[in-house]
Structure 1
């Protein structure tokens, strides 16, 4: 893996980890959004854990590439689901947020496969 792919993968892990932590710690801005999107509160912990696991998988994947691929796929699917959820909630102004979190994951994939 080249340096650019490594840096982007670490950035993607940091962003997803922060997002997972924010949901698990029930940050006010996250709770407000989740309520607006009508995501059941019983899903919040598993969703936050999924993001945290994806972030950890990206970091482990620096040493075990197959783990990075699985974590990346999982995070891309997660953020795709987040975009769908935001659209279903008709909160169109929030669409960029899951896209911003997904972008470094996709970029890490592209850089990793280009190397």
Structure 2
């Protein structure tokens, strides 16, 4: 069980960390997604900070289990909010979203089961 917990946690941290970096450096992909779902560009930086905090929390959770579970839960809620934003505007291309959501959900489930 530890191997599954470690693998899902590291994968979720890597994915959300890369998304955080994309937001924080002003990459065009987060901007195009913000335009698609009618989110003001002023929200890109705070959303990137949330993703970065989630990724860091997942890694800290390897040493402090409760923080990892809280971080994974927060990321699951973050991506449920993203789903709501995409569905609100009729966007049905959810493959990137599902990758992030399922990975963070896997990290949460394995963290709870392992501990």
TM-score over 0.5 (shorter chain): yes
Structure 2 counterpart of 1:102? 101
> Which aligned segments of 4 or more residues in structure 1 are displaced greater than 3 angstroms?
none
Structure 1 counterpart of 2:19? 19
CA contact (8 A) 2:73 2:108 kept: no
Instruction: Give the TM-score taking structure 2 as reference length.
Output: 0.92
CA contact (8 A) 1:2 1:112 kept: no
Instruction: Give the TM-score taking structure 1 as reference length.
Output: 0.92
- Provide structure 2 residue ranges, at least 5 long, that are not aligned to the other structure: none
- Provide structure 1 residue ranges, at least 5 long, that are not aligned to the other structure: none
In structure 1, distance between residues paired with 2:69 and 2:58: 8
In structure 2, distance between residues paired with 1:17 and 1:51: 7
CA contact (8 A) 2:17 2:52 kept: yes
What is the total number of aligned residue pairs between the two structures?
A: 114
